[in-house]
């Protein structure tokens, strides 16, 4: 069907073409940003890790502005909270240096939701998932978190195909982890400890 059928949840050819074009546009935007990136302007991995921590915590339950959608509210409205996934280790690597942060989603056993989501420099809790950010992905992580907050969390909306495609194109080989949708390993041109 060209226009789709809402009753059958068939998006139709025009909607599918539109989604494909959004994906292509996002991929091209990501590629352009990757070409523009200048590692010489980076402030270093410790500064990037601190900025990431501050960006995540700015939208936590205790720090978010009144009336703002928090990380936990956003997650709870989109995923089923999992008590086996409460701590994500984020390893950041730039110019041969590294820093680690932990994103902690506190699970509420009473109502099976996340109570809060915060980022910390260290924890004695066991790590459930891990993510590695290399080079430009580490350097720009806090900016991307803020863009997601401004563009999607603040309006309580899903990420668009355009945005997901841009992120994948821009950072694909610079991000890896054991979370669905991520590469298993960092790309060869972005070795951990390397200068990319």
Q: Cα separation of 118 and 59, whole Å? A: 8
Give domain status of residue 186, yes or no: no
Q: Cα separation of 54 and 56, whole Å? A: 6
Give domain status of residue 28, yes or no: no
Give domain status of residue 13, yes or no: no
Give domain status of residue 67, yes or no: yes
Q: What is the pLDDT of residue 88?
A: 94
Give domain status of residue 98, yes or no: yes
* Domain total in the chain: 1
Domain hosting 142: range is 43-157
Burial class (CB in 10 A: 0-12, 13-18, 19+), 80: exposed
Would you say 128 and 35 are in contact if contact means Cβ atoms under 8 Å apart?
Answer: no
Give domain status of residue 27, yes or no: no
Give domain status of residue 57, yes or no: yes
Would you say 19 and 11 are in contact if contact means Cβ atoms under 8 Å apart?
Answer: yes
Q: What is the pLDDT of residue 1?
A: 36
Q: What is the pLDDT of residue 172?
A: 80
Q: What is the pTM of this model?
A: 0.76
- Strand ranges of the sheet holding 113-120, from the earlier edge strand across to the other edge: 113-120, 97-108, 87-94, 129-134, 175-177
Closest CA to 120 of 97, 138, 144, 104: 104
Would you say 158 and 78 are in contact if contact means Cβ atoms under 8 Å apart?
Answer: yes
Give domain status of residue 52, yes or no: yes
Rounded mean pLDDT for each run of 10 residues along the chain, 196 residues in total: 46 56 54 55 84 92 80 90 93 91 94 94 95 90 90 86 79 83 68 45
Residues 6+ apart with CB under 8 A from 118: 56, 57, 60, 62, 103, 104
């Amino acid at each position: 069907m060209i226009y789709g059928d809402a009753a059958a949840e068939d998006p139709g050819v025009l909607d599918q073409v539109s989604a494909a074009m959004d994906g292509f546009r996002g991929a091209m935007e990501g590629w352009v940003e990757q070409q523009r990136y200048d590692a010489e302007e980076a402030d270093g991995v410790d500064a990037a890790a601190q900025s990431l921590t501050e960006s995540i915590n700015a939208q936590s339950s205790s720090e978010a502005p009144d009336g703002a959608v928090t990380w936990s509210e956003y997650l709870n409205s989109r995923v089923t909270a999992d008590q086996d996934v409460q701590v994500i280790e984020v390893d950041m690597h730039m110019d041969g240096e590294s820093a680690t942060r932990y994103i902690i989603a506190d699970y509420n056993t009473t109502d099976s939701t996340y109570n809060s989501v915060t980022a910390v420099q260290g924890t004695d809790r066991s790590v459930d998932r891990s993510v590695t950010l290399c080079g430009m992905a580490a350097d720009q992580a806090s900016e991307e978190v803020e863009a997601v907050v401004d563009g999607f969390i603040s309006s309580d909306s899903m990420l668009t195909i355009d945005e997901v495609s841009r992120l994948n194109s821009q950072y694909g080989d610079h991000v890896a982890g054991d979370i669905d949708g991520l590469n298993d390993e960092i790309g060869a041109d972005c070795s951990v400890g390397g200068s990319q």
